[in-house]
Amino acid sequence: MSDQLQKEKDKTENLVPRPYLGEVSETLKAVANIEMMKNFQAVVTEHITSPFDVLTPKEKVKKRLDGYDYVESSWMDKSFKTHSPLYSSELLHYSENMGWVTAIVKVTDRVTGNSELGGSSVRIQVKQGTLEPTFRDIIDKGNNVAAVITRAIKNAQSRFGHSADIYGKRESVRTEDEKQRFTSMLNRITIISKDRARLFQEQWNGLGTDYTEFLEKWQIYIDRNKTLAEADSDVRRSPSVSEAEVTKVNSHIDQVKASNPIAEKIKLVF
């Protein structure tokens, strides 16, 4: 460095106290670190949330016997490994009880360090008609064990957001139509059973998603348990039955009961 440049450097440093220069330097480092963390957080957030925005191809969606949609384990595994090629899985629990095998696994995305748990149970298949099965009656226990572990891994993979459009793992907000339908259904279930109505409300309060599917399930219960009281109420509200006719029928019933005690046991069902 030339003498002239050194003189200019010394002159500049003398204008600002050295402690202040040190503070500026630390502040700049802190600001730089914050910006780096923001960028890093944005990248990680994008990596974590991107699977939720990927729609499952229609040809990969299957229908269960109970009406729910699902995707096969092979598709879930391919989707997960494409997005998170660096991963690890760990078997946390395995047990056999009452003819069932149960497994819990932990799957970790080694890029972000995020882990998700998955679990499943599979019945051990035995020969048909066996009341008290022994080991000789088991068809293929190895297949049952493989199935429960595969399903548990698939369950954990889905919690990373893969096929979220099918399994609905994201939180959602109740719509006004769903709120109004819940209130109407709660009133009808209360007529059928107060205990069931309490259960219906507790499950609704603890629900985080799939509100419409939840209401559809309970609608089946309502349809199967429509009471005579509701049927009677429906008839009384029907335009085909006038209030005068209802009053006339009730009056006739009272006269019959008054003249014949046995008629007390007669119930009129509309």
Read off the pLDDT of residues 211-266 as tens digits, 9 standing for 90 and up: 787 888 888 888 888 754 455 555 455 555 566 666 666 676 666 556 655 544 44
Say whether pLDDT at 105 is over 70.
yes
Other Cβ atoms within 10 Å of 168 Cβ, number? 16
Residues 6+ apart with CB under 8 A from 107: 80, 87, 88, 89, 90, 115, 116, 118, 153, 156, 157, 160
Is the per-residue pLDDT at 121 higher than 60?
A: yes
Mean pLDDT of the chain: 77
Q: Which of 21-30, 67-76, 135-144, 180-189 has the least mean pLDDT? A: 21-30
Highest mean pLDDT among 2-11, 73-82, 236-245: 73-82
Q: Answer whether residue 169 shows pLDDT above 80.
A: no
Asked whether the predicted pLDDT for residue 65 surpasses 80, the reply is no
Task: Give bridge partners of residue 246 from the DSSP assignment.
Answer: none
Q: What is the pLDDT of residue 230?
A: 53
Look at 44 and 12; give whichever has higher pLDDT: 44
Q: Residue 66: its pLDDT value, please?
A: 60
Question: Do 156 and 113 contact (CB within 8 A), yes or no?
Answer: no
> Can you give the residue ranges of every domain in the chain?
60-167, 176-226, 229-265
Q: In this model, does residue 268 exceed pLDDT 90?
A: no
What value does the mean pLDDT take over residues 92-115? 92
Distances in Å between the alpha carbon of 141 and those of 99, 126, 132, 144, 205?
A: 11, 9, 16, 5, 40
The predicted model scores a pTM of 0.51
Residues β-bridged to residue 101: 96, 122
Q: What per-residue confidence (pLDDT) applies to 21?
A: 47
**Residue 256 is encoded by which pair of tokens?**
């019959």
Residue of higher predicted confidence among 51 and 256: 51
Q: Please give the pLDDT value at position 266.
A: 46
What's the pLDDT at 24? 53
Residue spans of beta strands (DSSP E) within the chain: 61-63, 69-71, 87-97, 100-109, 115-123
Q: Which residues contact 253 (CB under 8 A, 6 or more apart)?
A: 263, 266, 268
